[in-house]
Amino acid sequence: MLPNTGKLAGCTLFITGASRGIGKAIALKAAKDGANVVIAAKTAQPHPKLPGTIYTAAEEIEAAGGKAFPCIVDVRDEQQVSNAVEQAVKKFGGIDILVNNASAINLTGTLETPMKKVDLMLGINLRGTYLTSKLCIPYLQKSKNPHILNLSPPLNMNPVWFKNHTAYTIAKYGMSMSVLGMAEEFRGEIGVNALWPKTAIQTAAMEMLGGSGIGSQCRKPEIVSDAAYSILTRPKTFTGNFVIDEDMLKKEGIKNFDIYAVSPGHPLLPDFFLDDEPESLVQKMEEHGAAPIFKSGKAQKEAVVSGPVAETFKIIKAVLNPEVVKATQGVYKFDLSGEHSGTWYIDLKNDSGSAGSGEPPVKADVVMTLDSADFVKMFTGKLKPTMAFMSGKLKIKGDMSLAMKMEKMMAQLKPKL
């Protein structure tokens, strides 16, 4: 691995999304030099599925030799970002480096992506990066060797990187376009660069995308943090670059990249936005035991997603049979709002029945609109559809008699949910 040189000793790094993954790895690398690290992230309380909080990250940074300042920050909130920047300057005397690492991902097509998810990705990836940069720049301009580093890809304009997840690509490329613009705007004052991994990196996000079998095809976050260290210890005249981690480390003389592999010797999965096209990535993931939730074309609509709604639909799929279809003869569409928003369907009219995410294969006979939490309550028997309808929690459009048949089906499912 790339050795530390001590060049970041006493420097203050403001890192978004530093409570886990790549952000934390960059923080720990800098901490070994004796740097000050502002952990600007949302996770203050332990998450049931994601490791680490800003406080556990702070403990690791201190143990590595740095000084940590954990701040609860949602990068979409201008006041929270502003407060964190001001507090960081008050505590450490300034800001020398900004790492825009916080990011949101949702790999779905245009019709399958709720606007709530679009707003989330644009708000964190694009607006959050722009906002945090804007607020840090006045202090960076006072530093001797200031840098902004965005964890974002090179601007690959091949349409294949847009067609399957247009919203995500727009949001992620927004971070990269910020590099393009700010590098030129602040040339001679601040080094502004982008960094992107050549292969998949083992993070919570990657496990969500590829399932538990994806780890062996990944490298550790430390390869990105070593490449980031190489960038951030260079003069500010190194600017406007879209750096790939492996390429940068080869220039540093690193030859053995197995040290970064989760499973040395195992084939590695190329990352998005580089040379391999999406269909090739899916094939490689499946060949080596992973189960990607993103697929191109129609298969994408059947993507396996996580959460209580998805778990409910797994059970619904398992109990579908010709008898239920024959007794019901209806196609149901569910427009869900709330935390797990999205469109789902149950086809109890055709063949042996089907269920899944996205629009139903044929026109729906009944459209039900409700909060995702109430949907789960209905199918687990905690909320009767009639009561939900009467209280206004459930809106029904279409054949009411078929809507009542759905209640009977829910009663049959209750013991299994």
Cβ distance 176 to 194 under 8 Å? yes
Helix 308-319 to helix 400-413 angle, to the nearest 10 degrees? 90
User: Computed over its alpha carbons, how large is the radius of gyration of the chain?
Assistant: 24
* Strands, E assignment, 169-313: 191-196, 242-244
Regarding beta strands 395-398 and 67-72, do their DSSP bridges make them parallel or antiparallel, or are they unpaired? Answer: unpaired
Distance CA 343, CA 48 (A): 25
Distance CA 405, CA 180 (A): 57
Residue 229 is a catalytic residue: no
Reference 117, options 162, 78, 168; nearest CA is 168
Distance CA 65, CA 393 (A): 53
- Name the active-site residue from 168, 173, 332, 345: 168
Q: In what order do the strands lie in the sheet with 191-196?
A: 67-72, 36-41, 12-16, 97-100, 147-151, 191-196, 242-244
Residue at token pair 């480390």: 249
C-alpha dihedral (389, 391, 395, 399), degrees to nearest 10: 20
| Residue positions annotated with a catalytic role | 168
